[in-house]
Structure 1
Amino acid sequence: MLILYQFQRTWGNPNLSHFCCKTETYLRMAEIEYDIKTTLPLSAPKGKLPYIKDGDLKLADSRFIIRHLKTRYKDLDKGLNPSESALSLAMQRLIEEHLFWVTMYSRWQYTDANWQVNKKAVFGVLPPVIRDVAALVYRYRIGRQIYGHGIGRHKPEEIFELGMLDIDALSACLGDKKYFLGDQPTTLDASAFGFLINTIACPIESPVKDHGLSKSNLRNYVDRIKTEYYADLRQP
């Protein structure tokens, strides 16, 4: 059976990792059987989570994982026309290459209160003797990544202004539809849910979270998908 390696569940959500949540949501939307093993990215391929083992195959990065799932199991995007496929790709890039970094700034750099919540969720499984050291090292590394991306070079209010534009685009794209591209879930929905729940439905506070919560269609979308595909989860 396919095994998904990811962070442990926390905050009553599928996963604190946007990309882990995206991958598991695709598995559930496509009704693919899988097991979960919780781990940290220290020994993961490419040093990141999630990754999967499917028979003799070990594969990292949610994009390549989902490409494999489409080929071997079920392609949720099979019915999309070229225009819809292009929109799906563009929106995933907005979510995963821009909004993601705004939320990472919120967790790792914005306020000490956010950092303490994030630190406990990510590193709480480690023995106390190494927990603080590991957290300090990773906070520095991720801070450099945020700066290298470019988003970390801006003032906080500028970062969140850019993130709010992403939220506006997502809200406008969804409109009053059940899913982003119609009545059936696609890869875009797996991505959007994984990132939106980790923006507006987790205990990390920011102006972008507040702005997302002001969009009733996005709130309802996250609640609906969590109820439909993660009914087994219990609130903390």
Structure 2
Amino acid sequence: MITLYGFGPTFGLPEASPYVTKTEVQLKLLGLPYRKERARPDLSPKGQLPFIDDDGARVADSHFIREHLERKYGKDLDAGLDARQRAEAWAIERMLENHFVATSGYARWLIPENFEKGPAHFVDGAPEELRPKLREELLARVRENYRALGVARHSEEEIVALGVRSLTALSALLGDRPYLFGGRPAGVDATAFAALAGILTPFFDSPLRRRAEGFANLVAYTARLMREFYPDHPWEAPRQGA
């Protein structure tokens, strides 16, 4: 039995981490039975979530989890895609995970109101007298990570512009198709869904979220995949602006 370790549902999402969501949706697409448990990142072989335990084999990082699952179980999430489409899927995934998720993560972590109502509560399990210091240390680590990525070196206006550039590209690539490559989902649809749900959740308000709500096809795509993969999760469809 495969066990998937993640943060669990929070922030109006079935899972806090877009990378855990990506892996969970890919498990569903592969038709593999699994169970899900909460875990701390420090319990992972790479110090981050997700990771899986597959009958004793512990694999961390959503990309390498996918490789492991496809190899072990003889399945291909991109079956039916030609070489060019596979290359495009990889480029889309890198745009989302190496670029867009950083801009949406900024909105979640480094807008003070969002941090206070969301990630600040990650330390709620600690003794009350330690929580203020732990929150400060957590925020400092995340801020430094975003500076290392380059995102936190920009103004908020510039960060939003970068995020919108990725949303515009993704919207054009999706067009009016149900999935990114036509009538059936590919592996990258799990990545796109997870990234979009993370910015569109109504739990956090941000300029980037308000801009994301203006992409009607992306809003509809996210709502449709939420119904498909998390039918029991209540999802408040964002308003679609201009």
TM-score range, shorter chain: over 0.9
Residue 143 of structure 1 aligns with which residue?
A: 143
Q: After TM superposition, give the deviation of residue 127 of structure 1 in Å.
A: 4.5
Residue 207 of structure 1 aligns with which residue?
A: 207
Alignment of structure 1 residues 103-122 onto 2, 5 Å: 103-109=104-110, 111-120=111-120, 122=122
In 1, distance between residues paired with 2:98 and 2:134? 25
Residue 78 of structure 2 aligns with which residue?
A: 77
In 2, distance between residues paired with 1:12 and 1:31? 25
Residue 173 of structure 1 aligns with which residue?
A: 173
In 2, distance between residues paired with 1:13 and 1:31? 22
Native 8 Å contact 1:10 1:121 kept in 2:
no
Structure 1: runs of 5 or more not aligned: none
Q: Residue 177 of structure 2 aligns to which amino acid in structure 1? A: K
Native 8 Å contact 1:7 1:38 kept in 2:
yes
In 1, distance between residues paired with 2:199 and 2:190? 14
In 2, distance between residues paired with 1:12 and 1:154? 28
Percent of paired sites with the same residue: 34
Aligned residue for 2:46, secondary structure, equals helix
Residue 128 of structure 1 aligns with which residue?
A: 128
TM-score (norm 2): 0.91
TM-score (norm 1): 0.94
In 1, distance between residues paired with 2:167 and 2:3? 32
Q: Residue 106 of structure 2 aligns to which amino acid in structure 1? A: Y
Q: Residue 17 of structure 2 aligns to which amino acid in structure 1? A: S
Q: Check 1:54–1:183 CA distance in 2 against 1; reply closer, same or farther (3 A cut).
A: same
Higher relative contact order (CA 8 A, sep 6+): 1
Native 8 Å contact 1:41 1:49 kept in 2:
yes
Residue 221 of structure 1 aligns with which residue?
A: 221
RMSD between aligned alpha carbons?
Answer: 1.7
